[in-house]
A and B are shown apart, each in its own frame.
Chain A
Amino acid sequence: MAASGSTVVGTLAAPVGQVRTARPSRRRPWDRWLAHLILLGAVTVIAFPLYYAFVISTQTLSEASSLPPRLLPSSHFLENYAAAWQRAGLSRLLLNSAFVALAIALGKIVISILSAFAIVYFDFRGKTFAFWMVFVTLMLPIPVRFVSTYEVVSHLGWINSYWGLTVPLMASATGTFLFRQFFQTVPDSLAEAAQLDGAGPLRFLWSILLPLSKANMAALFVILFVYGWNEYLWPLMITTTAEMRTAVVGIEALVPRGGSQLPEWNVIMAAAMMTLLPPVIVIVTMQRWFVKGLIEQEK
């Protein structure tokens, strides 16, 4: 795993600039024009649906449903976003999403650091077994156990609660592997020095290991926040009232199913924009850690 992961990744993380300047292809400039053309095309294709959604979210319903489609923004931005905010109860949904995503991300990080610390820095009976137990959870995503997980959560009385939305998703094999791998690269001398100074294991974890792990925590945070925000099947199953839904699940309720009512696409798109923005903003502002996380999680 580590082998294929690191080959793949090293490449994504490599500072592209160095490779480039090493060999400018001065002989065939049209190669570079073609490259720019293709990449600009790809970027446009990727961005178009989002641009279109934004445009629709600024139009009136009749503008949005006119033919030929209007591809320029109109002036009804505020009223559509306000309507979406009220009708879908978005303030509550977005707060739920933010809480759930943060709790899952932070919970997973804490739990995996503790596990990895135990596995790397201690010798104890059943260590290999413990490691494999964590590993096998990779093969148990929610779709392969949802009926019974639901039953467990309902026995605990956690249906439609923040406990139910977060705790069952907090175990993390990938996080544990990430920190295990990182801890193994930390020089042994640090732990030895700490022991000589009379620091116990928890003291060492807190004052030395954690500060060293900041970059890894940030990388994992981005990936996990996005995961928590976008999780769909689990919140759909265990929430029973509109106030406990997350934004991603709540948006589905706005989409009309058959029926005679005219779908208000402008309002739906406004809600979609507000729902997709937070994780995208996290990715864009934490770009460096995001790329690191993408790479590390696949190792």
Chain B
Amino acid sequence: MKRAVFRNRWLPYALLAPQFVIILVFFYWPAVESLRLSLFRASPFGDRLLFAGLGNYERLFRDAAYLRSGVTSVIFSVAVTFLGLGVSLFLATMANARIRGLTVYRSLLLWPYGIAPAVAGVVWLFIFNPSYGVLPYLLSFVTAYRFNWLLEGWVALALIIVTAVWKQFGYNLAFYLAGLQAIPASVLEAASVDGAGPFRKFFAITFPLLSPVTFFLFTLNMTFAFFESFGIVHAVTQGGPGDATSLLVYKAWKDGFQGLELGFSAAQSVILMIVVIGLTALQFRYAEKKVTY
């Protein structure tokens, strides 16, 4: 803690004022308002709000479209996270050698961080183009199946998953490579001397020692998949075909801004709020553990 402290009665409050004006007006007030709004529904003429209690939430959990959207979101986030982390961990482990030029590789891996999810989506949209995209073209040599994302829900879902994984891939790989470099070679050599094979070494040493990196990347990718994927869906599939790629954030936005069902949309926002709180709590519980470790 600081010992040298300035003394002033009002200055600290003045310094905090800009931040507080913004968080009160644009964060806390709307959050509370969302909670309140989620308990109301519009009157038949849409001119005033009627108290609905937990009606909106009840409706959510009976609404087949919402439940489908929940399942789609879980599939999407799990696929993005596990595929992304799995592939990059595997490659990083294979590539774990003391080589020249690692900083150059790091730069070449990290730049997609700067590309907006929506723009990345537009690029992949062309790669997946059913008539002349390079991917369906290549696949046509392997199988007669027509990979048309406009018609097949699962192809559309694959399109947004691939876009998200691509965008996060270099970032994940760079962090794993750095994490592996920090594992002392002597530990792995000692294991080799004791006769441990590559699998044994990976599961007994590398994976546990990398767990802080894995955990950090896990929450980061989950958050990305849940909350930053909106741009990909909106710019690329618009939730379609049907509602095959209608993720939770996209559905909340659509019901609120196009359907103008404010209470129903607010209830969806509150569910998302619970997801964020869960992810944040998870992150901190783990961090606490590391401190006492």
Tell me if chain B binds chain A. yes
Residue positions of A touching B, CB distance < 8 A: 1-5, 7-8, 10-12, 14-17, 19-20, 22-25, 31-32, 34-36, 38-39, 42-43, 45-47, 49-50, 52-53, 56, 64-69, 71, 110-112, 114-115, 117-124, 127, 130, 133-134, 137-141, 143-149, 151-153, 167-168, 170-172, 176, 184, 188-189, 191-192, 195, 200-202, 204, 226, 229-230, 232-233, 236-237, 248-249, 251-252, 255, 257, 265, 268-269, 272, 275-276, 279-280, 282-284, 287, 290-291, 294, 298
Measured between alpha carbons, how far is A151 from B263 in the docked complex, in Å? 13
* Complex contact A188–B99 (CB within 8 A): no
| Nearest chain A CB to B146 CB, angstrom units | 14
* Complex contact A11–B178 (CB within 8 A): yes
* Complex contact B27–A232 (CB within 8 A): no
* Complex contact A52–B134 (CB within 8 A): yes
Measured between alpha carbons, how far is A282 from B28 in the docked complex, in Å? 33
Instruction: Given A5-B216, A146-B256, A251-B119, answer yes or no on A12-B174 (Cβ-Cβ < 8 Å).
Output: yes
Q: Who on chain B is nearest to A26 by CB?
A: B98
Q: At the interface, yes or no: B273 with Cβ under 8 Å from chain A?
A: yes
12 A-B pairs besides A38-B91, A52-B127 with CB distance below 8 A are A7-B212, A16-B102, A31-B97, A46-B166, A49-B123, A67-B137, A69-B132, A115-B15, A143-B269, A171-B26, A255-B125, A294-B113
Q: At the interface, yes or no: B115 with Cβ under 8 Å from chain A?
A: yes
* Complex contact B270–A232 (CB within 8 A): no
Measured between alpha carbons, how far is A191 from B283 in the docked complex, in Å? 35
Q: At the interface, yes or no: B253 with Cβ under 8 Å from chain A?
A: yes
* Complex contact B113–A195 (CB within 8 A): no
A interface majority secondary structure: helix
List, in ascending order, chain B residues with CB within 8 A of A112's CB.
19
Give me 12 A-to-B residue pairs in the complex whose CB atoms sit less than 8 angstroms apart, sorted by A's number: A4-B287, A8-B213, A12-B174, A36-B99, A111-B19, A143-B227, A152-B33, A184-B2, A189-B4, A232-B234, A249-B118, A265-B126
Measured between alpha carbons, how far is A8 from B181 in the docked complex, in Å? 11
* Complex contact B287–A152 (CB within 8 A): no
List, in ascending order, chain A residues with CB within 8 A of B45's CB.
none
B interface majority secondary structure: helix
Q: On chain B, which size bracket covers the interface?
A: 35 or more
Measured between alpha carbons, how far is A291 from B91 in the docked complex, in Å? 21
- Residue with the highest number of chain A CB atoms closer than 10 Å, among B29, B107, B126, B170: B126
* Complex contact B124–A248 (CB within 8 A): no
B169 CB contact (under 8 Å) in A22, A42, A69, A172? A42
Q: At the interface, yes or no: B6 with Cβ under 8 Å from chain A?
A: yes
Q: At the interface, yes or no: B257 with Cβ under 8 Å from chain A?
A: yes
Residue positions of B touching A, CB distance < 8 A: 2-8, 11-13, 15-16, 18-20, 22-23, 25-31, 33-34, 37, 91, 94-100, 102-103, 105-120, 122-127, 129, 131-134, 137, 166, 169-170, 173-175, 178-179, 181-182, 185, 212-213, 215-216, 220, 227, 230-231, 234-236, 238, 249, 252-253, 256-257, 262, 265-266, 269-270, 272-273, 276-277, 280, 283-284, 286-287, 290-291
List, in ascending order, chain B residues with CB within 8 A of A69's CB.
132-134, 137
Instruction: Given A8-B213, A43-B109, A255-B235, answer yes or no on A148-B2 (Cβ-Cβ < 8 Å).
Output: no
Measured between alpha carbons, how far is A152 from B256 in the docked complex, in Å? 15
- Residue with the highest number of chain B CB atoms closer than 10 Å, among A65, A138, A172, A276: A276
| Nearest chain B CB to A226 CB, angstrom units | 5
* Complex contact A147–B265 (CB within 8 A): yes
| Nearest chain A CB to B75 CB, angstrom units | 19
Measured between alpha carbons, how far is A27 from B3 in the docked complex, in Å? 54
A52 CB contact (under 8 Å) in B7, B123, B174? B123
A65 CB contact (under 8 Å) in B31, B131, B266, B290? B131
